[in-house]
Structure 1
C-alpha cells in the first residue's frame, strides 16, 4: 500500500517549507483554500513596505566606525562597536522574520544567504552585510543571472573571498573557485585551468569602504584572452558570469540546490529535475522554479514531507511566530545566545559552503538548547489557546497552536502527562521530535 499525505498535512508542510510554519487558524485557512491556491497566495503576497510586518522592522542605520589606526584603546573600542552592530543586524533580521506577513520572502532570502554564504566575522562591516542582505531579498526571485552579477559585484562577498586586491600580477583564485564550485556549476563541471583563467577575469577590483562599493581599476585587470570552459575571449566579471549561468550544468545545479534546501537531501529524482529545469527555463526564472517546486507532486508526497530537520533559525523563528512573541531589545541577547548554542547565527555561516542541513542539527546538545529556549519562550508567549482548553484536549490544542497536524502515540502519551501544566506542556511540545521536523 502506497503511503499518502493528508490535505492538512500537505498544507502544514507547505507553510513550514515556504515560511516558518503556521498556527492552527492559518492551517485552517490554507486547507479551506486548497494547496494550489495557498502556493499562489504565498508567492503573490504583498512585499516590501506593503507588508505591514516588514514596514514595522526597517533596516538599521549604522554609524560609520572610523579607522582606529594603531592606538590600542581605539582599536578595542572599534571592535566593540563592530560587535554591537553585528548583534543589532542579526537581531533585526530575526525580528523581521518573525513579523513579516509574507514569510516566503524572508525564507527565500535565508536560503540565498546560505547559498552565497558570507560571514561578518571576516567582512567586519555590518553596513556591507546589510547591503548584501538587501540584494538577496530584492533579486532572489528574478533571473538567476541578475542575482549572480550582483553578487559577483557585492563588496561583502569580495572581502569574504579575497577578491579585493586581486591583480593581473597576482590573481586570487578564491572567488573564481567558489563561483564555479558552489555558486553556479557544482563540482565536476570545471577544471583547475578554468579556475585560474576565471581568477584572471575577476581581477582589478578595490573596495571603497566609506562608500560601501567596489571600484574597478583597469590597470590592475588582466585584459588578455582567457580560455574558460572551452571558450576563449577577453573575459571580465560580466562575461564570465554570463558564460557560467548559461551552462546546462548551472541550470541543474541551481535546481539541485533549491531542491535540497526546500524539499529533500540527495539527488533530485530524474522526473522532478526535468520538470523543474523546464520551469527555470532559458530565462533562469527563480520564482517560476520555486512555484514549480512547491507544486510538484513529489514535494507534497511522503518521501519529502518530514524529510528535513529544522535549521536553528527556522526553529526559533517558527516558535516565536507560533507563540505570538515579538522580540524586544532585551530578548535579542537571549535569542542570539540560543542560536549560538545551536550553531547558527545569521550573518555568521561557518564557511563559504554555508550551514549543514538535515540530521546534523539533531544532537543531544541541540536538544538541551531547544528545551532551554522552549522554557523561556513559554514565559513570554500567548498560551491562551492551550490553557483555556479542557485538560483532555490540551495536547491537541498544543499541536494546533504550533501548526502541527498531529503527534505520534509515544509523544502524545508523554505530553498528556503534562496536560495539567500548560506552560510545561507547550515547552515539551517545542522540544518534541515532531516540532524538530521541517
Structure 2
C-alpha cells in the first residue's frame, strides 16, 4: 500500500542512491534511513560494505554450479559436449543480474560492474571463459580499493592474458595485443603513447603464461621473458633478470600513477555517474584526488558525490539494458526463485537484457561496455523497454519460478481510492517518489481513467487494466532515467 510521506527519501538522497544503485525499493530506503541518511549510507558502503549483510545475494551463486568449477574442468566439459563455455557464461550473466536485484551492497556491485567494463574481458570466447568468473571475482575484491593493485591483478590474470593473446607471448615473438590495450584502454589512453611504447610494453609482459588446452594452469616462464633495456613514456628499466615479474608490477604501478591514467579514470567515472559530457574542471579535480590518495578509489567517489556537478545531474543519465532489467524487477517487487527449468525467470532475465541491446559484459570489443547514453538512446531500445515493461506489468512473461505482486497490493479491499491517489501510491511504491501532475495525466491517457474517478476492486482497472498503469509508470523518464 501507499508509503507514508515521511518514509520517502528526499530528492537529493534519492539521486545519490539511484545513481550508485539499481533502483530504490523499500529495503534500500530502510538501509539509508538506518544509516542516518544517504551520505552516511554511502560512506558505510565505501568503507564497511560488510555492515550490510548480503546473504540473499550471496546464496544465488549456488544456483549455477558451473560458476565454481575449475578452468580445467570447464574445458573438459566443453570438449566432451557436457556443457559449452557459452552456456557457462550465460550463467555468469544471470548470476550478476539476480545478484544486483538482491544485493544490499549496491555501491560495491556498481563499482565491480564499472571496472569489469573498463578492464574488459568479454564473456564470449572459446578459451578465456575458463577463467572469466575468477576474473570477475578478482575485480570485486579490488573494486573499492586501489587501482594500482587492481591493475596488477587484472593485467596478469589468466583471463586477460588469454583474451589479449599474452598467454603465449614469448621473447622470440612478443604479441602486442595486451601491451597496446593496456596503454590505450586500461591506463593512459589513445594518443598518449607511441608504437615504440607498445613494443616495449609487450616485451615487459612476456613470461606470463597459461597452459592452454591441457591443464589451464597459470605460471611464469622465465625462458619466455624478453630481457634488455625497456622504456615506456617515463618508465625505464635495464630489465636484466629473466624473472620479469617484479618488472611487470613496477611498470603497472607506474602506469596506474600516471597523470594521463588519472585523468582517463576520472573522466570515465564522471561520464558514468554525472553526465555524458562531464565538465573538464570536475574531471581535473577528481584526477588530483586520485593521485593525491595513491590511486585509492573511495576518495575519488567521495569527491564526485560531493561536487556541485553531481548534485545537479539528477535524471541526466539513461539506464543501460541490464540496469533497466534489474531496476524493473526491483520496482515491481518480483520475487525471483531458484531456476528449475530453462525458461525460469532467473534464466530469462538474460534474454530480456539481450533483447534491450546487451547482456552483462557481452560487449564484443576490447574497449568495454560504453558508459555514454547515446549507445542506448535509440527507438529500438525504447520499444524494447516498453515491451519488457508491459509483459512484466501484466506478469505474463517470464512466469516460471517467479512471484509477482497483484493489483491488491495497491487497491484497498474496502474503501475506494481516487485514481490520482492510486497513481501516487504506485509511484511511491515503484519509484519511491511522488507522482507528478504529468505522470497522473500520462496514467489517465494510458488507462482511460479520470483523475478523481473512484477505483475499487470491482472497477475494470483492477480487474483487467492494471498493467496499463504499471507500464505507464515504468515507461516514464522517472524510471528509465537515473
Quickly name the TM-score band, shorter chain normalised. Answer: 0.7 to 0.9
Q: Deviations over 1:48-69 (max 9, x none)?
A: 994222332236442524548x
Partner of 1:3: none
Q: Deviations over 1:29-56 (max 9, x none)?
A: 7479444223224334543994222332
Partner of 2:149: 146
Contact kept in structure 1, 2:131 and 2:158, CA below 8 Å: yes
Q: 1:48–1:223: structure 2 CA closer, same or farther, 3 Å change rule?
A: farther
Partner of 2:249: 238
> Which residues of structure 2 form unaligned runs of 5+?
1-7, 240-246, 396-402, 450-460
Partner of 2:478: 434
Contact kept in structure 2, 1:225 and 1:233, CA below 8 Å: yes
Matched residue SS, 1:188: coil
Matched residue SS, 2:209: strand
Q: 1:55–1:131: structure 2 CA closer, same or farther, 3 Å change rule?
A: same
Matched residue SS, 1:215: strand
Aligned partners of 1:35 and 1:186: how far apart in 2?
Answer: 34
Cα distance, 1:23 vs structure 2: 2.5
RMSD in angstroms over aligned alpha carbons? 2.8
Q: 1:48–1:354: structure 2 CA closer, same or farther, 3 Å change rule?
A: farther
State which structure, 1 or 2, has the greater radius of gyration over its C-alpha atoms: 2
Contact kept in structure 1, 2:265 and 2:287, CA below 8 Å: no
Contact kept in structure 1, 2:135 and 2:157, CA below 8 Å: yes
Identify the match of residue 404 of structure 2 among 352, 358, 381: 381
Q: 1:95–1:226: structure 2 CA closer, same or farther, 3 Å change rule?
A: same
1:248 aligns with 2:259: yes
Q: Deviations over 1:249-291 (max 9, x none)?
A: 1222221121111221224431553255225524211112112
Q: Deviations over 1:127-175 (max 9, x none)?
A: 4111011011111111111000000111111111111211112111111
Higher mean Cα deviation, 363-372 or 137-146? 363-372
Aligned partners of 1:37 and 1:27: how far apart in 2?
Answer: 13
4+ aligned runs moved over 4 Å, structure 1: 24-32, 123-127, 209-213, 406-411
Number of equivalenced pairs: 425
Matched residue SS, 2:329: helix
Partner of 2:303: 292
> Which residues of structure 1 form unaligned runs of 5+?
1-5, 69-73
Cα distance, 1:321 vs structure 2: 1.5
Identify the match of residue 160 of structure 2 among 148, 157, 161: 157
Identify the match of residue 338 of structure 1 among 315, 332, 352: 352
1:224 aligns with 2:228: yes
Aligned partners of 1:49 and 1:9: how far apart in 2?
Answer: 23
Cα distance, 1:341 vs structure 2: 1.5
1:299-378 pair list within 5 angstroms: 299-301=310-312, 304-328=313-337, 329=339, 330-356=344-370, 357-378=372-393
Q: 1:403–1:114: structure 2 CA closer, same or farther, 3 Å change rule?
A: same
Contact kept in structure 2, 1:89 and 1:126, CA below 8 Å: no
Higher mean Cα deviation, 338-347 or 130-139? 338-347
Higher mean Cα deviation, 268-277 or 173-182? 268-277
Matched residue SS, 1:101: coil
Aligned partners of 2:161 and 2:202: how far apart in 1?
Answer: 12
Partner of 1:412: 440
Q: Deviations over 1:290-328 (max 9, x none)?
A: 122122222111xx2222110111111111122222333
Partner of 1:105: 108
1:20-35 pair list within 5 angstroms: 20-23=22-25, 26-27=28-29, 30=32, 33-35=36-38
Contact kept in structure 2, 1:108 and 1:140, CA below 8 Å: yes
Cα distance, 1:373 vs structure 2: 1.6
Aligned partners of 1:212 and 1:324: how far apart in 2?
Answer: 42
Q: 1:331–1:376: structure 2 CA closer, same or farther, 3 Å change rule?
A: same
Q: Deviations over 1:315-365 (max 9, x none)?
A: 111111222223332013421111111121123123111122213212222
Contact kept in structure 2, 1:27 and 1:403, CA below 8 Å: no
Q: 1:406–1:124: structure 2 CA closer, same or farther, 3 Å change rule?
A: farther
Cα distance, 1:126 vs structure 2: 4.4
Contact kept in structure 1, 2:188 and 2:260, CA below 8 Å: yes
Partner of 1:15: 17
